Structure 1
Amino acid sequence: MTILVIAEHEGGSIRAATLNTVAAARKIGGDVHLLVAGSGVLGVAQAAANIAGVVKVLVADAPQLADGLAENVERTVVAIAKNYTHILAAATAYGKNIAPRIAACLDVAQISDITAVLAPDTVERPIHAGNAIASVQSIDPIKVVTVRPTAFDALAPDGGNAAIELVDATQGAGISHFVSRALTHSDRPELTSAKTIVSGGRWLGSAKDYAAMMEPLADKLDAALGASRAAVDLGYVSNDYQVGQKGKIVAPQLYIAAGISGAIQHLAGMKDSKVIVAINKDPEAPIFSVADCAIVGDLFTVLPQLAAEI
């Protein structure tokens, strides 16, 4: 049994979600191979070879893979798929763009967003916005799976000594082309890997008040900033900040929710946080059902007090 993990990388570095995906692969059992696809990615491959638990790093280095177009990466993966019993990718925007294409080409069912491995052919995944957990067994010869990164503890990025092997990159599909990429740069931790997150909802009232109330507390805690869908829809922040079923799934050590009522879609994205602090003036707010610490009060009073005490 051999498992292929599709590595996600950016700026010459392996992204944290890949370490979680390798951890899930290790729970399945067997040898774990890591595919690094891109252009000029030898440095990334060398970093990947150091990841604990990885036996081999496959490098597909070609101009048509430079921008990570899903159609081109998928063709390269499908060309080597017969060598593997499982193909895993993180359940990120990148992984969720590639995995369904691979599954369709292989004529197998994709298993999405797994949170636990019960056996090599059986996994768990949340359904109904996380209110139920389904056990899914697959009899497909090649199992294509996306992994929820927050459900698996990341393996160490060093301590490994995997072999590096070059593989042929298939010709580009020719059905899409890269136009541009707009990156959001921030000195704060990345939302999906932050240990502390401070999130705001619609009751902040405006983008100006979001910044005035949330940023001082986040600065004190060295925290990432998040938001509910309502706050994003109202234009307080960009959708990069959205936490929830339709946004980013997070599980930090500390999650502070201010002015967030707790719609089921938002809870699905953060209820696995280790400690949840909810601030809301409505004592019946659904967010309190998952909170470890509930503060009933006006966020415009409570947040400055919290920031002042830290």
Structure 2
Amino acid sequence: MTLEFSGLAVALATPFTASGEVDLPAFRKLVRHVVAGGVDFLVPLGSTGEAATILEAERDAIITACLEESSGRPVVVGTGHNATRQAAAMTKRAQALGAQGALVVTPYYNKPTPAGLVAHFAAVAEAAPGLPIIAYNVPGRTGLNVTPATLARLWENPQVVAVKESSGNLAQIGEIARQLPKGKLLLSGDDNLALASMAVGASGLISVLGNVLPRETAAMIAAARQGNGAEALRLHQQLLPLMDALFVESNPIPLKAVLKLLGLCEDGLRLPLVPAEPATRTRLAEALCLSTEGTFPGVM
């Protein structure tokens, strides 16, 4: 059940029209671009997809479009919420629509205890029996870090099959890998730490960069998984300028600016996010040039 969640996943952006509506044609175009790059699975409606500002009535169309354009790649839908009932309902709905998994962020704002986290994930799993769940630890957004000790308790739930680890703490990542139970997966949630995470035991990456350069990002992860460290490092160093530039403002602000530059979608975001500053756009264009060795990638 966990093998299909190894390798490269892309945390998909959600394009918007000039009037602020979800731009489904542009979203489909983005999914096709990512799939053509050879990624292993797709993750719509995560933090990169601005899920916190997507209305409940908009979710079905996004999930359905992703499934229709996935070319058989597994689709893991972001269904996290700080209200457990809401997270459970969204996970149940994603399963009904055909999703192969759910990415469930730890509840933000509430700051639950470890016992509360265990109960939260148990309720979400119960709402969607048999659906694999990737727990998402991103303390920079939630204000709560899932320690290895707490994660060990989450692993007791058979539906929690993987963790997307975005703490940025390599010591913690290494300890999670050391304690990783058989049949569970550790996935990096940070492009710039993917190789370091894989060196200590991660099985792949859920990427922001993969929206822009899926083929190159997939090649980097594949090289690392195949033990070709020299090639993985070469690609990491080539892609690093863009990895860094994509986070000079809050994600996905810079990402949307690059996607517009590539003609994949407009750069509109939903408040409280606003479009990238001019200096950010200049840096992104320069970084894209460096990371593609002077040529922009082809776009479907």
Is TM > 0.5 for Structure 1 vs Structure 2? no
More helix by share: 2
More strand by share: 1
- Alignment TM-score, normalising by the size of structure 1: 0.30
- Alignment TM-score, normalising by the size of structure 2: 0.31
